[in-house]
Chain A
């Protein structure tokens, strides 16, 4: 961590980084993975010469299989929103394990204020509260959900920054607490049938819109604002950041709050997309969000990584998931292969870092 190549965010000048940004490597890996899937599709006899990304059946106006392009990003958009926050946390050399269960808990809390009174002319069979909570304006479930996330994040951050609990432990505890809240909220029952407005938040390609808009916003924040520079500074060298006058504790609480609010928003989008909230939702989301950031070239030691990298990491996971279904690979092999790819990403990245130093 003492070597200067870890410093970014304008604190140190990192020549190697300027010449060949890490993000280009991930983009290259992405292209290679796509080519591998194309080759399998063209050569494996059972695939009947289908293409992975191109439109071989003349179904679309463009040369691409647009349906596949859409699902590749749609299926990682919601976890991607979580990963935007996790990226910031990991850049401060922290970790957030509570995001998956927070997605479930927020989905339950928000959806219970986003239900509609009549379903096909019948009373909502899954109504959690009385008529007062039915057909509320969409802002209410959204604000309640985000506020809930902010509270959880503030608690995480306070324990980590002020009481010096290791982030792994603090958020592991919050992981269990949030899963408990999700189960307790409705006693394990699903909460279904949202209002039209609430259902719109996650309908169609809306999750992708949210993901891209939020990614752009946070890329700008992390690159050009004091918040971003302080976040990198704390991760590079916390002591130095404190000495140079950054209020490290307050800043960390803010980072964890933002991360939890992003996870909470992911929960809102997810419950809207599925038009139901269930306590078992979001299983392993925290791990896939971390995996996206890791594939995107983040360092768990902090100080290094970027939002663009995480977005590309999300794309890699999306391409892999679609590709495996495309070549009809069995579910159990999919998990094994995905695990190998995550480890390979880190091995390659470390090798590259060593060679650079």
Chain B
């Protein structure tokens, strides 16, 4: 892993071949688990393409820094740029910074996605699906358990500044707004900032009130795992609580295999990663590219989890 990264950056530094194509990519965060799976996959995929030098940089959640990185790439004469945008409402600024250099947005949908110039494209999953799939499956499970007359639970948010977190929480409320699921009631929602240890503490705080609850919905797997660890530490039987998250990370699948985790959603990192590099290469070659490519989310439950063990 370390070697591939070092290798990739060495290749990027030393690539001088006349025919070589150069792609620069900027990611909102290097320490995000799912984005790391995406990044790693992209480095690997880029390595299989002859003459392609691929370099990626960390915007560390700073939009101004990301725009400068895009400008840096342009100044360095890269052939295409891939952007995992920090702030989805700043699409116009990032698109302008790239000028005429082909640019592909990956994973996060910029607000100007419908006005992209022909040299730019967007590859991602439709974020609205993820939170909806997870919450709706929990709703169905609760009904199947005979709790359709009333079920109460908690909602754990990711960072409040993050578009995906806001969207996934909104999805939960949209699902609860449906006739079929309006028996679900959120006792409280709080941010645990995507993090497992913060989720442990938050869940323990909630449980200390002694209120009975039937479900926990989290914006991602890490928080769901933290909640599960806290509930198990408090001696709860995980069969009594429905827990839903998003990501289908390796860690989550292990917890699911143990019978503690009920629902997660698979976001196809390989599909998004290879899709964005392919789109960039096509744009470099001057070919037509769909301005919006959606890679579907897939619901993951104990029934089909074995299909995903090798994927994320």
Please give the number of chain A residues whose Cβ is less than 8 angstroms from any Cβ of chain B in the complex: 47
Within 8 A of A (CB), among B159-212: 160, 188, 190-191, 193-197, 200-202, 204-210
Q: In the complex, are the beta carbons of B258 and A120 less than 8 A apart?
A: yes
Assembly CA distance A263 to B262 (angstroms): 36
Known: A71-B205, A279-B31. A119 touches B254 (CB 8 A): yes
Q: In the complex, are the beta carbons of A331 and B257 less than 8 A apart?
A: no
Q: In the complex, are the beta carbons of B33 and A187 less than 8 A apart?
A: no
Q: In the complex, are the beta carbons of A187 and B4 less than 8 A apart?
A: yes
What is the CB-to-nearest-CB distance from A160 to chain B, in angstroms, rounded to a whole number? 26
Between A70, A204, A276, the greatest number of chain B beta carbons within 10 A of the residue's beta carbon is seen for A276
Assembly CA distance A126 to B201 (angstroms): 24
What is the CB-to-nearest-CB distance from B20 to chain A, in angstroms, rounded to a whole number? 24
Interface flags for B234-257 (1: CB within 8 Å of A; 0: not) read: 100000000000000111011001
Within 8 A of B (CB), among A235-266: none
Q: In the complex, are the beta carbons of B210 and A65 less than 8 A apart?
A: yes
Q: Is A25 engaged at the interface, CB distance under 8 Å to the other chain? A: no
Contacts of A186 in B (CB 8 A): 1-2
Contacts of B209 in A (CB 8 A): 50, 68, 326
Known: A120-B258, A184-B2. A67 touches B208 (CB 8 A): yes
Q: In the complex, are the beta carbons of B197 and A187 less than 8 A apart?
A: no
Q: In the complex, are the beta carbons of A280 and B31 less than 8 A apart?
A: yes
Assembly CA distance A252 to B196 (angstroms): 35
What is the CB-to-nearest-CB distance from A190 to chain B, in angstroms, rounded to a whole number? 6
Interface flags for A43-81 (1: CB within 8 Å of B; 0: not) read: 000000010000001010000010110110011001000
Q: Is B89 engaged at the interface, CB distance under 8 Å to the other chain? A: no
Between B206, B233, B250, the greatest number of chain A beta carbons within 10 A of the residue's beta carbon is seen for B250
Closest to A47 in B: B209
Interface flags for B21-45 (1: CB within 8 Å of A; 0: not) read: 0000000011111011101100000
Contacts of A278 in B (CB 8 A): 31, 33, 195-196, 222
Closest to B1 in A: A187
Q: In the complex, are the beta carbons of A65 and B195 less than 8 A apart?
A: no
How many residue pairs between the two chains, A and B, have CB atoms under 8 Å in the bound complex? 120
Assembly CA distance A75 to B229 (angstroms): 14
Give the residue of B36, B234, B254 whose beta carbon is less than 8 angstroms from that of A125. B254
Assembly CA distance A326 to B210 (angstroms): 11
Q: Is B5 engaged at the interface, CB distance under 8 Å to the other chain? A: yes
Q: In the complex, are the beta carbons of B5 and A187 less than 8 A apart?
A: yes
Q: Is A183 engaged at the interface, CB distance under 8 Å to the other chain? A: yes
Q: In the complex, are the beta carbons of B196 and A67 less than 8 A apart?
A: no
Q: Is B269 engaged at the interface, CB distance under 8 Å to the other chain? A: no
Q: Is B226 engaged at the interface, CB distance under 8 Å to the other chain? A: yes
Give the residue of A75, A120, A280 whose beta carbon is less than 8 angstroms from that of B195. A280
Q: Which residues of A contact B (CB under 8 A)?
A: 50, 57, 59, 65, 67-68, 70-71, 74-75, 78, 119-120, 122, 125-126, 128, 182-190, 192-193, 203-204, 270, 273-276, 278-281, 283, 321-322, 325-326, 328, 331-332
Shortest 6 CB-CB contacts between residues of A and residues of B? A280-B31, A188-B36, A67-B208, A279-B31, A68-B208, A75-B201
Q: Which residues of B contact A (CB under 8 A)?
A: 1-2, 4-5, 29-33, 35-37, 39-40, 58, 157, 160, 188, 190-191, 193-197, 200-202, 204-210, 222, 226, 229, 233-234, 249-251, 253-254, 257-258, 309
